[in-house]
Every structure is written in C-alpha cells, then in structure tokens.
Amino acid sequence: MRTAPTILHLDMDAFYAAAEQAAKPSLRGKPVIVGGLGPRGVVSTASYEARRFGVHSAMPMAQARRLAPNAAFLTPRFRLYREVSDQVMELLSRLSPLVEPLSLDEAFVDLEAGGAADDTASARATGERLRADIRAATGLAGSVGLAGSKMLAKIGSEQAKPDGLVIIPPGSEREMLGPMPVRTLPGVGPATGEHLRRAGMTTVADLAEAGEDELVRLLGKAHGASLYRMARGHDDRPVVSERDAKSVSVEDTFDVDLHDRVRVRAEVERLAERCVGRLRDAGRSGRTVVLKVRRYDFSTLTRSDTLRGPTDDPVVVREAAARLLEGVDTTGGVRLLGVGVTGLADYTQEDLFAQAAADAPVGGVGEGSVVGGGAPVPPADLAAGGGDTGGGEAGGTADDRPAVVAGPASADAVDGPGQRRFPAGHDVRHAAFGAGWVQGSGLGRVTVRFEEPGSAPGRVRTFWVDDPDLELSDPLPLIPGAVAGAVVGPADADAAVTGEGNDREGTGDGAEGGPGPEGRAGGGTRDDATVGGAAGPAEGQSSWSAMRPKPRSASRSDREAGGSAGSGAGRGSP
C-alpha cells in the first residue's frame, strides 16, 4: 500500500452513448441507448438522460424501450469508439509507462512510475489536467479516482461520476469502505454476495469483523483470504502495462430459435471464420477450439477439442467446431451459438494431418462480441451488413419531417435479401447533401439526418436504399477539424495514436444478445433490429405517392417519431 494517492483510475462517462451524442448534435441532452436492437438484444450503454428512466447496461432492450420509448436507440459503432479510445490511451501513456487498459473506456495509471505525481497535491493536479486534456481532444468527459491502490482508485472513480475527481487519502481506507455493500469489492458477484448475505454479511465492515477464518470457511482459502484483505483496505496489486488475452471468441443470439440442423451447422462455420479473423487481426493462434450452444430452454452446453498444435487456419477451426456440434442435441431449438479459441500462442504450427484441404475457400471475416482480455476489432465496411434498424430522436418538429428524395430505386418498395443495410446511428455520405447518420431504415428506404459534430442540428431526408448517391462512410472526428486517429490536445496536436483498449461493454456468457458490430441480411444476429415501420413523408408531400404506392405502415405515427424509419429510434416499438 502506498503512502500517496499515485494510482489513477480513469473511467469515461457513459462512453458509447456520450460519443454518439458528441457526434450527433440533435441527440445532445436527450436520452440515447446503444445496444442490440433485436428482440433479444441488451443495452450496452445508456446516457445519463436515459438512466433517469431506469435504463441501465445489460438490461433487455425490450424493457429499455418500455421505460424510455422516446429515446434514440442506436447500434454500436466500434470503429468510432476505438478511435476515441486510442486518443485517450495516448494521453494516459504520456503520464506514465505503466498504463493498464481494462476496456475501451477504462484504465489504471501508475503516476509514480512516470514521475507525474508523488503526493496528494501533485496527484490532484495531474488528474485535473488529464480530464481537461481528454475533453479538449475528444469533447467527452471522464471521471478520475486517485488512491494508494487499484481497488480504491476504481471505487473513487465510481464515486466521482459523472465528470468528477475523487481522492481517497491513504489511511482512510477502512473508514471509507466500512459502510459500503459487499458487492463493492472486486470478485464479489451476485452469487457470492447472496452467499454472504445468508451468512449475515451485507457490508464491508461485516466482512472485516467476521475474520479471515470465517471467510475462508465460507468461500475457500484463496477467495476468502483475498476478500478479507480487501475488506481491511489492503490491495497490493501492481499496475501491469500488458495483459495477455486468454481466449478469443464470438457468439450470436438469434431472434428466433434455430431448428434446422443444416442452418445451425452453417452458423457454427460462419462463427468459426469470424473467430479466426479476430485471431489473425491480433497476430495470435490457438490450440483449443470451444463450441458454446445455448438451447431453447436456456440450458448451455460447452464442448472443446484440443488440436495437435496452435493454428489460425479457418478451415481447421471450422471443421473442429463442426465436429463438436455433431455431439450436441439441438432438436428443441438453439437460441445462441458461440465459437472460441483458447490456448493462445504467438506462432502457428501447421497440422499436416488436418482434414481440411489447403485450398479450401475461406469465408468472410466479421466482428465478434467477446475477446477475453484482448482488444475489439473495429467493424469493417458495413455496406454489405447490418440488420434493418430504426434510428433517430424523439419529438421531431415540423422542420424535422423528412423530405422525400427520389432515387433510381428498384421496382419493389419492400426490403429484399439483396438490398444494402443501413444500421441505425451509422455514418453515411450523400453526393448532394454531404455527411449524415442513419436515423432509421425499413421497407426499402433509409432516413438520414444530415449533421456533423460541431454543427447545428440538421435536417432529415428519406431515400431509397439503392440510391447510388448514398453510401456508408467512416466516422467523423468528434472535434471538428481533427484528423481521425490523431490526438488533438494541448500536449501534442500531431501525436500519433498508439494506445490499445479492450471492449468490456460487449457481452459475455451472462448477457445474451449483446451488441456486436456486425449485422447480416436475415441472419438474426444479436444486433439485428426488427423493422417496425416505414419512413413516411410529412403530410402534404404528394410526390411520394406519385412515384410509388405508399405502404400502409408509413403512417402519421411514423412521422411523429421524429421522421425516423423502422423501430430503432424515436418512438420505436420493441
């Protein structure tokens, strides 16, 4: 334990939602919810405006829609979040060589190792300067905790939210921790917390008073002894600059249970190729292939197969996963599938006896949702992916009603399997109107709000999805005039970004249907959205019906939901 608060913990406030609000002027100050938009999706991040309605992370998206029906519901844009995270991590690396990223929006920093602080006053000054630099570089707010240990620094940043700084002076640990609930301590989850509650321990002070022997009896030697030390305020874990990934995995929750065995195998093979894509992006290989199957009754089965040596061959991993599937009964239906690789290595050992042919075709690589300790892969060009989604804001005024723009569309006005997909909230660019973002899509149309970071709230227009002038584009910098991927701060405006971050807001085993950046046409992935309505024009715009028949779902209710298309945002239904 240190005698000065020189361990800093930074946690960006409502990171995903705050980044979306910074990028979309029309959403600032309004409830924004980022996550999987399908019926089995969950909330990844909710803005503080949405949290006032009771919405929180890991909540089922259907429940979030009931609590905050007028919020903007958006799919994640991990490319943008990664770029902003890199800027933040670069600023942290200037403070110390010991920076331990925990996720895209969270990290520990050893200020003493970098000479940035050696007492309370210098630590406070460094923390305040860091918060100012982050706001100057990204426009976002971060909360900072300073303490003599990692555990207390993290507790301090939680107390500082939103947009604050809290110092926990060394020597005050037990007094501060005593009245806090046991769930405050690292390693105490719902099951352990309930076990301790039944034993009559609800606060950290109760744990300290119970003694080490009692906690060891209840929880086992390792866990009990560790928990007793933390309850007394002792935590000597060092800040570690590099954390090796233990596994790489991807999984999808399907909107409708899969019963067709051929379809289930095809999904497993697709997931295997996505997993290998993440392996290769990380420059790693793996020896053990793991298959996860969650059936219709929520029972979860896990099977694994250890190969002869580490591999990053998609065909080998795909065939290994398919073999594992043969031993799993999927008769009643499958709601979730996952493929992972463990036993990671930095080299590849070719298996000469692999069943896969060397010239077997390799499928497309997408993005997954879970990387054990590793960094998330930014989404690739989404022009060929992403489910039909809605998007936008609630309460559109008359000026916000979408102007219907004619485009050289196909003969049908309804969605088809070959149509381009425009996920809610993602960036687009139109040849005539410039940059904007998808407010919603459905029934062969896409509604776009044309605005940029730093601009005034923009106008809304609706296009046919096959309009050649409309294309998905890369995210714009949150600070106008900044170069994407570069830190724009007072220290060095031209510094290259080298920081790394991990994605903790994707889902793990406990949260189904979490947000993943990839969508597919008719694929039922975790971030596919239900199409609840069309993008209807404002009343009095007769040119729409003159061009094509007006679908029944393009009603007044759609126009009143901020002019959005589909059910992703505005007043979208679950």
> How does DSSP assign 471-506, residue by residue?
EE-PPPPSSTTPPTTB--SSS-TTPBP-------SS
Residues paired with 448 in a beta bridge:
438, 461
Dig out the tokens for 98 from the structure.
Answer: 């010991």
Crossing angle of helices 190-198 and 212-219, rounded to 10°: 120
Least Cα distance to 402 among 357, 348, 442 occurs for: 442
Q: What is the spatial distance between Cα 70 and Cα 570, in angstroms, rounded to a whole number?
A: 5
Q: What is the spatial distance between Cα 217 and Cα 219, in angstroms, rounded to a whole number?
A: 6
Q: What is the spatial distance between Cα 569 and Cα 530, in angstroms, rounded to a whole number?
A: 11
CA terminus-to-terminus distance, the chain: 50
Decide if 33 contacts 464 (C-beta within 8 A).
Answer: no
Active site residue 106: yes
Helix-, strand-, coil-residue percentages of the chain, each rounded to 5: 30, 20, 50
Which value, to the nearest 10 degrees, does the dihedral of the CA atoms of residues 481, 485, 491, 492 take? -80
From the candidates 106, 267, 393, 451, give the one annotated as an active-site residue. 106
Strands (E), 364-490: 370-372, 403-404, 427-430, 434-442, 445-450, 459-464, 470-472
Would you give the DSSP letter of residue 454? T
Q: What is the spatial distance between Cα 118 and Cα 259, in angstroms, rounded to a whole number?
A: 62
SS3 annotation, 268-285? HHHHHHHHHHHHHHCCCE
Using only the alpha carbons of the chain, give its radius of gyration.
25
Q: What is the spatial distance between Cα 256 and Cα 327, in angstroms, rounded to a whole number?
A: 22
Dig out the tokens for 103 from the structure.
Answer: 């996720």
Helix (H) or strand (E) holding 343: strand 334-345
Q: Is 161 helix (H, G, I), strand (E, B) or coil?
A: coil
Q: What is the spatial distance between Cα 463 and Cα 461, in angstroms, rounded to a whole number?
A: 7
- Active site residues per annotation: 106
